[in-house]
Chains A and B, each alone.
Chain A
Amino acid sequence: MNGLIDGLSGLALLAGVFFMLVGSAGLLRMPDFYTRMHAAGITDTLGAGLVLLGLMLQGGWTLVTVKLLLILAFLWLTSPTASHALVRAALSDPGNPRPLLHPHLPSSSTEITAR
């Protein structure tokens, strides 16, 4: 039983670190600020979630697990708020470059919405 939990937690930790590495690679690979935002989202949601899940499995039913749950709740509450604030600030700054949009699409989406 103990071995099973250990294995599961190791698996969760490794998967979490893998997603964080992918997110960080995206942070470097993506072409502009607005797309990098999405790559950072991977690290904040699944990467952090899986790493904390792996630690929770190690912690067992103790106060440490409660604290890890609180950390997870704070991260998942604050990360969308911070992302939204960043995008709002970047878009409302006239000196900042506009988002690169896909060339085959209308730059403003009114046409898509009308469909």
Chain B
Amino acid sequence: MLRALGLWLVCFGLWLLLSGYFDVPLLLTFGVLSCTLVVFIAWRVEKLDPEEQRLRPKIGPQIILYWPWLLWQIVLANLDVAKRILNPQLPISPTMITLKPTQHSEMGRVIYANSITLTPGTVTTFLSEGVLEVHALTREAAESLLEGDMDRRVAALERRKT
């Protein structure tokens, strides 16, 4: 019930932001009705495919500090890949590597894999319990992943096992 209320509040907040109508009662009523319909449909879908287990937050508030770091890494990787594309010799050395992620929750592993893919020059090609395969554009990018700096930072985001 609490989850449904939370979902409704998020939906209505998004509706208000996107529509920009704050003082037209008729339109606000329509907004309330459509949010209620969405929550009802979500509730019906969840009976078929319960996801409550997975949606419980397993990530601490430290993620606020992780985002700027990730952004900086993305900028650095972008500059590196852009330089390589503009170089007439195209100095690339594609590499496939296998990593062993140390995160214990599924959420942590997904954040790690998504961070790798979001950084240009490395794309996650396979992800399962203890294996993560990465295709890297250059050998240097692969080696910097093997050092495991990002892996440690994502693992530090997770809440301890309960």
Contacts and interface: CB of A to CB of B under 8 A. Distances in A.
Given A45-B74, A102-B94, A38 B120 contact: yes
Contacts of A11: none
A80 B78 contact: no
A111 B113 CA distance: 22
B113 A19 contact: no
Contacts of B124: 80, 84, 87
A110 B124 CA distance: 16
Contacts of A67: 17-18
A80 B117 contact: yes
A80 to B, nearest CB: 4
B82 interface: yes
The listed residue with most B CB atoms (<10 A of its CB), out of A91, A104, A109, A110, is: A109
Contacts of A45: 74, 78, 118-120
A96 to B, nearest CB: 13
A83 B117 contact: yes
Question: How extensive is the interface on chain B, given as a class?
Answer: 35 or more
B118 A99 contact: no
Interface string A20-48: 00110110011110110111011001100
A1 interface: no
Interface in A25-77: 25-26, 29-32, 34-35, 37-39, 41-42, 45-46, 63, 66-67, 70, 76
Contact of B99 (A26, A76, A108, A113): A113
Interface in B69-103: 74-75, 78, 81-82, 85-86, 90, 92-100
B118 A76 contact: yes
A42 B135 contact: no
B121 interface: yes
Interface in B11-68: 17-18, 20
A42 B82 contact: yes
Contact of A84 (B17, B18, B113): B113
B85 A25 contact: yes
Given A23-B82, A80-B118, 4 more contacts: A35-B137, A38-B137, A42-B81, A107-B96
Interface of B: 17-18, 20, 74-75, 78, 81-82, 85-86, 90, 92-100, 113-114, 117-127, 135, 137, 139, 142, 146
Interface of A: 19, 22-23, 25-26, 29-32, 34-35, 37-39, 41-42, 45-46, 63, 66-67, 70, 76, 79-81, 83-84, 87-88, 91, 99-102, 104-105, 107-110, 112-113, 115
